[in-house]
Structure 1
Amino acid sequence: MKILIRNLDRETTEQELQTAFEAHGKVQSSDIVKEKSNGLSKGFGFIEMPKAGEAKVAVKNLNDSMLGANKIRVKYAEDKADSQAKPKID
């Protein structure tokens, strides 16, 4: 299950992010999105957790918690295909 983490402290590392989620279960991957031009964090990232139950607990427990100097927002990530497939309402 892919999880989106927003409002990351720009100094947060992928290892720190992974460690926070590992307290709630197995983490398959950890990725902080970075600027192409300078390699600095854009302030959000993704975690992949293979077990849905563990991911649900992680989202519930880590949303609105402090990581580094910021209060992070955690939710399930939407697939790009899913968000593009939704019809526009005019």
Structure 2
Amino acid sequence: MKLLVRNLSRATTEQQLRVLFSAHGAVTTCNLVLDQVTGQSKGFAFIEMPNSEQAKAAISSLNQCQLDKNKIRVKLSK
């Protein structure tokens, strides 16, 4: 399942996201979206988890949680 993570701090790294989501199951890919000009985070990322039950558990657990002083939003990507 592909998840969309929004409202990320500009300081949040892909490694932090991978560790955070790995606590709920296997993470296939972690793609933090960067601005092509500045190279800084645009504040959102895509996470892929192969197991749908683990992905749903991650959504339930991590949606509205604090990460780097921001309350992140996690949902299924369409």
Identify whether the pair has TM-score above 0.5, normalized to the shorter chain.
yes
Which structure 1 residue ranges, 5 or more long, are not aligned? 79-90
Report % sequence identity. 51
Q: TM-score, length-normalised on structure 2?
A: 0.98
Q: TM-score, length-normalised on structure 1?
A: 0.85
Q: Equivalent residue of 2:50, what SS?
A: coil
Measured after TM superposition, the shift of residue 68 of structure 1 is: 1.2
Q: Which amino acid aligns with 2:30?
A: S
Alpha-carbon distance in structure 1 between the residues aligned to 2:60 and 2:68:
18
Number of residues of Structure 1 aligned to a counterpart in Structure 2: 78
Alpha-carbon distance in structure 1 between the residues aligned to 2:68 and 2:19:
12
Which structure 2 residue ranges, 5 or more long, are not aligned? none
Highest RCO, 1 vs 2 (Cα 8 Å, sep ≥ 6): 2
Alpha-carbon RMSD: 0.5
**Which residue of 2 is the match for residue 18 of structure 1?**
18
The answer as to 2:63 corresponding to 1:55 is: no
> Quick check: which has more Rg, 1 or 2?
1
**Which residue of 2 is the match for residue 76 of structure 1?**
76
Structure 1 stretches of 4+ with a deviation exceeding 6 A read none
Larger fraction in strand: 2
**Which residue of 2 is the match for residue 46 of structure 1?**
46
